[in-house]
Chain A
Amino acid sequence: MTLDELKENESAQIVQILDEQLEESMLNMGFIVGEDVKLDRIAPLKDPILITSGLNYISIRKEDAKKILIEKTKTS
């Protein structure tokens, strides 16, 4: 599944980022393939979303979240 399919407060592991440029941007913000990511909040107008990985807390548009493959680990 992809990151945009998560519900609020669901966590998953980043498996792959399908866009090289996006992967680099995410890496700069501290989002690394293999690590956990949590969807914290969906904006009132359903887009963009707020996500965290470790101590990194960023916003990203759904369009980009669609390119981030994830695997569900746990729900909290």
Chain B
Amino acid sequence: MPGTYSLNPEAEDERVAANTIKNITDDELIIVVADVTNLKRNLFLCTQIIDLGKPVVLVLNMMDLLQKSKQCIDLDKISALLQIPVVPVNARIKKGINELKEVITNYKFKPTKLIALTATERYEKITTILLSCLKGGEANKWIDRTKKIDNILTHKIYGYLIFLSILFVIFQAIFSWSAYPMELIEEGFSLLGSLVESWLPEGVLSDLIVNGILAGLSGIVIFVPQIALLFAFITILEDTGYMSRVSFLMDRLLRPFGLNGKSIIPLISSIACAVPAIMSTRSINNLKERLITIMVSPLISCSARIPVYTLLIALVIPTEEQVGIFNLQGIVMMGLYLIGFLAALFAALVFKWILKSKGKSNFIMEMPIYRLPRWSNVGFSVYNKVKVFLFEAGKIIIAISIVLWGLSSYGPGDTFEKIEEKYASPAYENESEDEINNLIASEKLEASYAAYLGKTIEPLIKPIGFDWKIGISLVTSFAAREVFVGTMATLYSVGDEDNTTSIREKMLQAKNPETGDRLYNKATTFSLLIFYAFAMQCMATLAVVYRETKSYKWPIIQVVYMGALAYISSWIVYTIFS
């Protein structure tokens, strides 16, 4: 497990590793992967495990760096002195992996002599071992180069400028580079929809697939380019060692808010997804700082909000509008991210006042040497995150899409038949068939089960400018925010026979039945945006908060405080704009 320095754990991630090691039986095998450029400290952990009487194989990684710094290591001698097998590998180019497999298959455990009792004694022994096994070269070459880079990257002016520029590039990439693949996906789904319609006989099945499943699914797949880019950037920043420097720069700034420099990693990861972000808080060893980071991370706008933001912003702000060289839509989007970040800091401050502190806080953190990102690692991480997003979120979304399609296509009792009978009467003979079909569809939707659900909560959400259709979306979004787009797509495409107009156009045409004005005017749309920025609408996050805090208390507090924040803020925004 990376980031484990000792068997006397301080942070949650080390505790997990230490417990696993202590529970290992004799027929299992521990492989200690040590960075050969800092063998002294890595052997500290390795010898601790040897002294527990556990079967150990030592793998020396990054042998290429050793050769480049003109050092050499006597592998047989180190193996003899530690009495364990030692295998050199270069994980980046997969060198030595076969040799390692061979060693593992032929491994026979024999108990070794105790190496040391106290930590100081252990370091003395290790120093002696290394003196006899590690020869020559410029050992400090890599760390010297790293420090030169740090002179720039942690510089009092350039350091922050570079960090802000990197954030800016990430945002630009997400919103402009991904536009082309997103268009392709949208067109692809639209094509698929019409294909299915032409293949299948008209009826319930075709309707379910096109307006239920495909409509819900396209709303998700379309965001894969953005999410993939975001995770690629975050993995690159972590892999190169840059994230640790950002923590170093931010520690003093975050401390007044009850956070730790290490909190910046979860906070930045939350731009992609709060679930891995909350899991990464394990490296924060102070319990209070960790808890605050967990509680406020979901306020940072995650990638699931991107679809909601994109759709809603496009409703009220024209694409062409520019402020200077910047696109106004982009600015509003950045503003929403900023609001989320400020809300997170504010919430952190409140939690800092309420929560009691247990244990001391520190910021002892290794600064890894700079290395080029391992592209296979980046690719693997992106693939994994996208897979989780597509399949985990996709499952929920398809299920919800089907339920929703059912709820909005059927109504209680014989209400639907009555509507059809009404329009079949001679009074409507003069109207065109299309018009009648549209009237039937909208009346049916209003009489459907979904409408009953939405109308039940309508009184509650009316003060913040939402109608029953948005109400249904709020209910379904509780599973995951991006479901909003799918729900809207399903709700507005029921009854749309040609399936030609996009969801955005349908929402633009939506009218407020009381005033006859556009339903998605500035007041309602901004209110919705703020609501989605603040409200806790993600089952996956709540599940992971429960798992990490081992109590129902924290996820419940999270739902309540974020819900209250969302409702009050939306009300304020709605009142200002209407």
Q: Please say whether chains A and B are actual partners in one complex.
A: yes
The interface of chain A, by Cβ under 8 A from chain B, is 21-22, 24-30, 32-33, 40-41, 43-48, 50, 52, 54-61, 63-64
Given A43-B248, A45-B253, A48-B261: A59 touches B120 (CB 8 Å cut-off): no
Task: State which residues 368-382 of B face A: CB under 8 Å.
Answer: 369
Q: Give A44's nearest chain B residue, CB to CB.
A: B156
Size range of the interface on B?
35 or more
A24 vs B44: C-alpha distance when bound (angstroms): 12
Instruction: List residues of chain A with CB within 8 A of the CB of B44.
Output: 27-28, 30
Interface majority SS (helix, strand, loop, mixed), chain A: mixed
CB distance from A24 to the nearest CB of B (A): 6
Rounded to whole angstroms, the CA-CA distance of A30 and B249 in the bound complex is 23
Using CB atoms, name the residue of chain B closest to A56.
B41
Complex CA distance for A46 and B5, rounded to whole angstroms: 27
Q: In the complex, A63→B366 CA distance in Å?
A: 17
B26 touches A (CB below 8 Å):
no
Decide: A55 and B248 in contact? CB cutoff 8 A. Answer: no
Contact with A along B440-462 (1 / 0, CB 8 A): 00000000000000000000000
> Can you show 21 pairs from A to B with CB atoms below 8 A apart?
A22-B362, A24-B8, A28-B6, A28-B10, A29-B364, A41-B150, A43-B248, A44-B160, A48-B251, A50-B248, A52-B143, A54-B40, A55-B37, A55-B139, A56-B366, A57-B143, A57-B147, A58-B364, A59-B363, A64-B362, A64-B364
Q: Which 5 residue pairs spanning A and B have beta carbons closest together? A: A44-B156, A30-B41, A28-B6, A45-B252, A28-B5
- Given A44-B159, A58-B366, the answer on whether A27 and B154 have CB atoms closer than 8 Å is no
Q: Mark B220-238, 1 if CB is under 8 A from A, else 0.
A: 0000000000000000000
**A32→B147 contact, CB < 8 A:** no
Q: Which residue of chain A lies nearest to B360 when distances are taken between CB atoms in the complex?
A: A21
Known contacts A50-B150, A54-B40: A43-B249 contact under CB 8 Å = yes
Tell me whether B140 is interfacial, beta carbon within 8 Å: yes
User: B123 near A: Cβ within 8 Å?
Assistant: yes
B window 249-289: CB within 8 A of A: 249, 251-253, 261
| A57:B154 contact, CB within 8 angstroms | no
B264, chain A: closest CB distance, angstroms: 13
Residues of A within 8 A of B143 (CB): 52, 55, 57
Q: Measuring CB to CB, which residues of chain B are less than 8 angstroms from any residue of chain A?
A: 5-6, 8, 10, 37-38, 40-41, 44, 119-120, 123, 139-140, 143, 146-147, 150-151, 154-157, 159-160, 244, 247-249, 251-253, 261, 360, 362-367, 369
| A48 CB to nearest B CB, Å | 5
Kindly identify which residue among B247, B251, B253, B366 contacts A57, using a CB–CB cutoff of 8 Å.
B366
Tell me, in angstroms, the Cα distance from A57 to B362 when the chains sit together: 16
Once A55-B140, A55-B143 are accepted as A-B contacts, the answer to whether A44 and B155 lie under 8 Å apart by CB is: yes
Q: State how many angstroms separate the Cβ of A67 from the closest Cβ of chain B.
A: 10
Determine the chain A residues whose CB is within 8 A of the CB of B367 once the complex forms: 50, 57-59
Measured between beta carbons, the chain A residues less than 8 angstroms from B140 are 55
Contacting residue for B119 out of A24, A50, A61, CB 8 A: A24
- Complex: A41 Cα to B149 Cα, angstroms: 12
User: Once the chains bind, are A43 and B154 in contact (CB under 8 Å)?
Assistant: yes
- Residues in A whose Cβ lies below 8 Å from that of B365: 58-59
Bound-state CA distance A60–B360 (Å) is 13
Q: A33-B120, A52-B143 are in contact. Are A61 and B150 (CB under 8 A)?
A: no
Q: Which residues of A contact B261 (CB under 8 A)?
A: 48, 59
